[in-house]
A and B are shown apart, each in its own frame.
Chain A
Amino acid sequence: QQQVKQSPQSLIVQKGGISIINCAYENTAFDYFPWYQQFPGKGPALLIAIRPDVSEKKEGRFTISFNKSAKQFSLHIMDSQPGDSATYFCAGYSGGSNYKLTFGKGTLLTVNP
């Protein structure tokens, strides 16, 4: 049973555009929702994260929007740059689970110059 559904699988955006990646979760016990960024040949690295007590979190050009009632959250990348080209994973975590994350399947983002 997939507990975090991520879409789209791949995304192509022009430089300067907005990239949007969506995730939906099933486990209502999740209380931490991170996004990881992965460049080719590297391991995933934490990009930004949100807890369900807020509806939005912004860090530079990256924003998470969170909708608790719909059990959905999304990553917005403003003014997308070619250097943002990477695979992005959303994830969910429920406290007390030994820090085990449940990941979405990933989105390959390509930003064309």
Chain B
Amino acid sequence: DAGITQSPRHKVTETGTPVTLRCHQTENHRYMYWYRQDPGHGLRLIHYSYGVKDTDKGEVSDGYSVSRSKTEDFLLTLESATSSQTSVYFCAISGTGIEKLFFGSGTQLSVL
């Protein structure tokens, strides 16, 4: 998966707890993205980063925050998880253009 590692791959947590998902890349790409995938909604952009410490919101950013302190790591945090955040989360990276957008294998998150 183009040097992208998402962790954990699966997580079950309780409502109200904080959760952090990690995306690690070995490609030295500038751009990193967090998407969520839900049945009937496809892939929706949560947040993205266009450089170290440079991030911006996507279309479904409420309830999520991100951080990127170094090129290779992009963290997605759910400050207080809710059941509506049960989803599959995908990290993606891009370095040289939109034709080179690669996705990780995803994190299945269940909020009970």
Contact = CB atoms under 8 A, between A and B. Distances in A.
Contacts, number: 57
Interface in B28-60: 31, 33, 40-45, 48, 50, 56, 58
Interface in A30-60: 32, 34, 41-46, 49
Contacts of A49: 99
B98 interface: yes
A87 to B, nearest CB: 9
A101 B103 contact: no
Contact of B90 (A32, A44, A100, A106): A44
A106 B31 contact: no
A25 interface: no
Interface of B is mostly: strand
A6 B48 contact: no
Interface residues of A, dominant DSSP: loop
B105 interface: yes
Contacts of B92: 43
Contact of B1 (A34, A43, A104, A106): A43
B45 A100 contact: yes
B98 A43 contact: no
Contacts of A9: 40
Interface of A: 6, 9, 32, 34, 41-46, 49, 89, 93, 98-101, 103-106
